[in-house]
Amino acid sequence: MVMKIGVVGASGYSGGELLRLLLGHPNFSLHYVAAGASAGESITSIHPHLTALSGRKFEETSVAKMNECDLLFFALPHGESQKYVSELQADIRVVDLGADYRLSESSQWEKYYGGSHAGSWVYGAPELPGQRELIKGALRIANPGCYATAINLAIAPAVTSKIIDATDIVVVAASGVTGAGRSAKINLLGAETMNSLTSYKFGGIHQHTPEIEQTLDGLGASGARISFTPILAPMPRGILATVTAKISHSVQLAEVRSMYQDFYSTHGFVTLLPEGELPRTSSTLGSNAVHLQVAIDSHTQRLIVSCALDNLGKGAASAALQNANLISGLKEDLGVPYTGVRA
């Protein structure tokens, strides 16, 4: 069965990556490709690598066109997708790459995003306990944030096994500039970012903070708290997160490694690297892969987890495709790349 697919917000980086992946999907056919501000422009004028779409133009944002689709991806700025959802036919499957339906508490939405809270959908993190089955039974999915994916997958096994103090999780994570979106900003110009690292949203104000804490609470870490410092890295895409937490009781590295391997044994996109190998963003480029490494700092008795992923892949588009497969009754990995394109 071939399904009609719509991508709303297709001119952005995540939207473009979605289009690339969808072009190779055997069961999904691009029926509607919308980009409000770029409507009428050639798709290849913004995504020149998508030559298979030569001659095709971005369409206007139209609920009527959305309702012609079997499945929709929203790749819009935060707060935008909720403007259209209430007008969609109830049986249309939706994966929202924005934050609109990730948070369960309206107070957290208002604090970190502002405006009205749209509610919450099933959280699209199939690697977390119980989530894969919830996703399969849903029609509407909230795709996780890119940083949230890296941090949650890095620390989830330790949280569920209760070997750490989840009220004291410290994260320093660097992301490529595509994580900030495609709109023109002086601080994202090449001349500003090349040969330079800078922190941003400094002091615990990053919008993924409540999403991560909500997820960890759901894993049994009541009162989970993270201190999160994001860093803008001089590269187009990728996330490298270092997550640390105080160990709550004596544990050996071999036990921790075994715990992580067991936790992700049925999740082929997540790999605990062999001892001595460290995650690299270049190794996950263009894929849905997550690479992890664990260590114990015996000096401070803290667990250290390093995680690498592609912010436009597992952090956005390929994760959305993984979720779309699940809600469509297809193989989870259909058209979703396991392997990066590192030279």
- Catalytic positions, please? 146
Q: Give the bridge partners for 244, in sequence order.
A: 170, 304
CA distance 82 to 99: 10
Residues ≥6 apart with Cβ < 8 Å to 56: 33, 42, 43
Whether residue 284 contacts residue 310, with contact meaning beta carbons closer than 8 Å, is answered with yes
Report which residue type is found at 326: L
Going from the C-alpha of 192 to that of each of 172, 184, 197, 281, 318, the distances in angstroms are 21, 13, 10, 21, 29
Whether residue 251 contacts residue 296, with contact meaning beta carbons closer than 8 Å, is answered with yes
Q: Which long-range contacts (CB under 8 A, 24 or more apart) does 62-69 make?
A: 62/34, 63/87, 63/88, 65/6, 65/32, 65/34, 66/6, 66/8, 66/32, 66/92, 67/92, 68/4, 68/6, 68/31, 68/32, 69/4, 69/5, 69/6, 69/31, 69/32
Going from the C-alpha of 198 to that of each of 172, 180, 185, 201, the distances in angstroms are 12, 13, 15, 10
Going from the C-alpha of 314 to that of each of 63, 74, 83, 127, 338, the distances in angstroms are 28, 16, 26, 11, 10
Number of residues assigned to the chain = 343
CA distance 268 to 265: 7
